[in-house]
C-alpha cells in the first residue's frame, strides 16, 4: 500500500509540474519568481494529496468526504492553468498543420485572434512569441507585425512596468536621479546573471543612447542580442527607432540652443 501511495504522489508531482507551466501569470521575465510560483502551487497540491491519502487510509469510511474536501482547493489551485492548457490545446487542434496545405486564411485568422487575446490579457511574452511564429510563416503583413511588436514593447518597457519589476525599479530610480554610471554598472551585472532579461537590455540601451550619449554601445548591445539563436521578434527595429528618437530630440535641442546663441551673437556684433 505504501508503494501505491508513493506512486500516486510521484504521478501527482509530475502532472502538477507539467500543468503549472500553463499558468497564465507566468511572465517569463523573472525566472526565479516564476519558478517559486510553480513550486508553491505544486507543493500545496502534494500536501493536499498526501493529507487526503493519509485520511483515507486511516478510515476508509470517510474516503468520499475527504475526496470532496481535497478536490475543492485543488480546483481553485488549478482552474486557470487547466483553462489555459485546454485553450492552447484547442487552438493547436484547429490550427494543426495537417489540416492545411499552404496558406490557410482560417488558421491565420485564428492566430491573429489569439494574438489579440494575449495582448489584451497582458501576456506580452507569449504574444511576442506568437508574433515571431507568424513572421516565420510569412503569411501576415510584416508591417502589421512590426506595429504589434512595437506596441507590445512599449507596454513592456514603460516606466510603470519598470517600476513594477523588483529588479528594475531600483535601477530606474538611479536613472531618474541622474546616476547613469551606477545604473549602467547594475544593469551589466543583471545581464550577466539573466542574459534574457529584456527589461535590463532595454533600460541599458536607453542609458547608453539617451543618457550617456553613447549610441555605439547601444547598437553593439542590440547586435549581441540579435546574434543569439532565437532573438525577440522585431526588437532590433524597435530599439533602433528608439535610439533615433532619442538622438533626434537631443540634436534638436542642441540646434535650438546654438540658434539662440548665434542670434544673440549676431545682435551684439551689430
DSSP assignment of 158-222, as one string? SHHHHHHSTTTHHHHHHHHTT-HHHHHHHHHHHHHH-TT-HHHHHHHHHIIIIIS--HHHHHHHH
| Same domain, residue pair 86 and 142 | no
Residue 250 has pLDDT above 80, yes or no: no
DSSP conformational letter for 132 = H
| Same domain, residue pair 175 and 214 | yes
- Residue 196 burial (CB count, 10 A): 14
Query: Cell numbers of 126, please?
Result: 507569449
- pLDDT value at position 56? 80
- pLDDT value at position 37? 87
Provide the domain limits for residue 192.
158-243
What would the pLDDT profile of 215-238 be if each residue is shown by its tens digit? 999 999 999 988 888 889 999 999
Mean pLDDT to the nearest integer, 50-61? 83
Q: Which residue, among 197, 224, 219, has the nearest Cα to 209 in the 3D structure? A: 219
Q: In what helix (H) or strand (E) does residue 151 lie, and over which residues does it extend?
A: helix 142-156
| Same domain, residue pair 145 and 172 | no
- pLDDT value at position 241? 92
**Do the domain assignments include residue 63?**
yes
Q: In what helix (H) or strand (E) does residue 11 lie, and over which residues does it extend?
A: helix 2-20
Compute the mean pLDDT over every residue in the chain, rounded to the nearest whole number.
Answer: 82
Mean pLDDT to the nearest integer, 126-133? 92
| Same domain, residue pair 140 and 169 | no
Higher pLDDT: 201 or 1? It is 201
| DSSP calls for 30-84 | -HHHHHHHHHHHHHHHHHHHHHHHHHHHH-GGGHHHHHHHHHHHHHHHHHHHHHH
Distance CA 24, CA 14 (A): 19
- pLDDT value at position 106? 82
pLDDT confidence tier of residue 27, bands split at 50, 70 and 90? low
Mean pLDDT to the nearest integer, 135-162? 90
| Same domain, residue pair 77 and 140 | no
pLDDT confidence tier of residue 196, bands split at 50, 70 and 90? confident
Amino acid at each position: 500500500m505504501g508503494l501505491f501511495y508513493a506512486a500516486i504522489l510521484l504521478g501527482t508531482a509530475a502532472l502538477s509540474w507539467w500543468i503549472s507551466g500553463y499558468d497564465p501569470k507566468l511572465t517569463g521575465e523573472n525566472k526565479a519568481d516564476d519558478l517559486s510560483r510553480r513550486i508553491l502551487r505544486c507543493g500545496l497540491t502534494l500536501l493536499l494529496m498526501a493529507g487526503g491519502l493519509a485520511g483515507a487510509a486511516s478510515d476508509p469510511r470517510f474516503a468520499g468526504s475527504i475526496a470532496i474536501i481535497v478536490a475543492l482547493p485543488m480546483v481553485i489551485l488549478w482552474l486557470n492553468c487547466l483553462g489555459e492548457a485546454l485553450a492552447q490545446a484547442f487552438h493547436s487542434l484547429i490550427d494543426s498543420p495537417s489540416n492545411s496545405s499552404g496558406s490557410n486564411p482560417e488558421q491565420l485568422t485564428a492566430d491573429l485572434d489569439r494574438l489579440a487575446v494575449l495582448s489584451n490579457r497582458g501576456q506580452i511574452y507569449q504574444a511576442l512569441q506568437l508574433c515571431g511564429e507568424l513572421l516565420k510563416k510569412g503569411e501576415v503583413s510584416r508591417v502589421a507585425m512590426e506595429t504589434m511588436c512595437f506596441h507590445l514593447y512599449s507596454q513592456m518597457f514603460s516606466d510603470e512596468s519598470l517600476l513594477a519589476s523588483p529588479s528594475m525599479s531600483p535601477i530606474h530610480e538611479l536613472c531618474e536621479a541622474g546616476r547613469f554610471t551606477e545604473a549602467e554598472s547594475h544593469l551589466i551585472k543583471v545581464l550577466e546573471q539573466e542574459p534574457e532579461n529584456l527589461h535590463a537590455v532595454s533600460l541599458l540601451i536607453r542609458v547608453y543612447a539617451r543618457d550617456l550619449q553613447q549610441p555605439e554601445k547601444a547598437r553593439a548591445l542590440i547586435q549581441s542580442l540579435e546574434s543569439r539563436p532565437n532573438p525577440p521578434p522585431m526588437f532590433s527595429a524597435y530599439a533602433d527607432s528608439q535610439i533615433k528618437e532619442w538622438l533626434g530630440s537631443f540634436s534638436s535641442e542642441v540646434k535650438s540652443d546654438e540658434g539662440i546663441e548665434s542670434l544673440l551673437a549676431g545682435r551684439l556684433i551689430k
